[in-house]
Amino acid sequence: MARAAITAGIAGAALSHHHGGLWWRHAHGGFGWVGPVFWPYADYDLYDYAWWGYGYDPYFWDYGYGDIYAGLFGPYDYDALNSYAGYLPSHAGSAPRARASQGQQTASLASMCGSDSRDIAGFPVDRFRTAIEPNSEQSAALDDLASAAQKAADTIRNSCPSDAALTAPSRLASMQQRVQAMRDAVGIEQPALDKFYGLLSDEQKARITALAAEQHPAKRETTSQDCSAVQGNATNWPGDLIERNVKPTDAQRASLAALQDATAKAADVLKSSCPPVDARTPPARLAAVAARLDAMLQALGTVRPALDSFYNSLSDEQKAAFDAIGPERNGGKTASVDESSARQHRRHGHRVSIGGMIFRMMRL
């Protein structure tokens, strides 16, 4: 509930600048991009699925092609970023400033990534220790796993961007960096988990399974069909908008066609990468996470070179027009580039201020 309130509030702040639908929203209510941060709850989503089996609360598996699309045609700009300045607890209750300093922006971005190391969603070491009553060898392996989990969480947090990515190439680069950090985190943790789990008896493994059932008793399992449907529901390619606003040359159209083809291939890769039905243990689920992140990296590795080739062929004016496509989406209608520029620099008399609400929800 706290997560939903925070993400919806921040997305609502963006809508004070861009009066379009929430076309970048996930199927189950989450957001891939919250402000300039991709996957703001990365550590929570990863660990919720791996430790507790939250295929039933499918935030992790909602990430995919739609987020690449939002990276290409992102809904945020400098003015929207100002809506997030001052959301650290030390600024709670105050309205966002009209223009955030570089230091404030960096701090706000870090707060979205979970910069407080005392509040991690990592390995529930105390609950596991109580449940399985480990012997000395198992206890040592459990300590090693807890240490690996902390390092993994730090790796994810350290991937938080220091600056807002305002162009399509920089957004996809930021996205790839974030996903790579998650994959590195899994690589840190996986050997320690496999070693610990291999030392457990069948009874101890059953107790861990029971912990997951207690954590989330009312559950409906997310199937591969559900995941494929989410990934297959790709947002339509805005070809008409690109043609109208960017006005590509014949040579540029060839690069644009290659980019569109690359995004279609990326969608196919992610559609075929969904949660396995037999991932019933933490090691199996963490392996499924690794496979999914590998698929996301493969998809990004397919799109980024094609995007760079097309984007680098554009003039400065065309780049500005391409970057304005996302913010100006409004129920399928897009304003002209001149109208876009005017709206982006217009000052609004009222801004959404949810700093105090976020702080209270964090405290709760």
Q: What is the mean pLDDT of residues 107-133?
A: 66
Number of domains comprising the chain:
1
**pLDDT at residue 53 above 80?**
no
What does 219-259 look like in DSSP terms, one character per residue? --PPPHHHHHHHHHSPPPP-HHHIIIII---HHHHHHHHHH
For residues 196 and 96, the model is more confident at: 196
Of the candidate ranges 85-99, 179-193, 243-257, 266-280, the one whose mean pLDDT is the lowest: 85-99
Q: Which of 106-110, 119-123, 346-350 has the lowest mean pLDDT?
A: 346-350
> Which letter does DSSP use for residue 149 in this model?
H
d(CA 149, CA 184): 12
Give the pTM: 0.78
pLDDT of residue 245: 93
Domain encompassing residue 29: 2-363
- pLDDT at residue 23 greater than cutoff 80: no
Instruction: Taking residues 43-59, report their average pLDDT.
Output: 76
pLDDT of residue 48: 83
State the virtual CA torsion across 2, 65, 38, 182 in degrees, nearest 10.
Answer: 100
Model confidence at 114, in pLDDT bands (50, 70, 90)? Answer: low
For residue range 207-255, what is the model confidence (pLDDT) as tens digits? 988 887 776 655 555 555 556 555 544 557 889 999 999 999 999 999 9
Residue 122, C-beta contacts closer than 8 angstroms, at least 6 positions apart: 43, 47, 146, 149, 150, 152, 153
Mean pLDDT over all residues of the chain? 74
Confidence check: pLDDT of 325 > 90: no
Segments of the chain assigned E as strands: 33-34, 37-38, 329-330, 333-334
Q: Is the pLDDT higher at 58 or at 309?
A: 309
pLDDT of 134 reads 95
Average pLDDT over residues 286-307: 96
Task: For residue 141, give the H/E element and its range.
Answer: helix 136-157
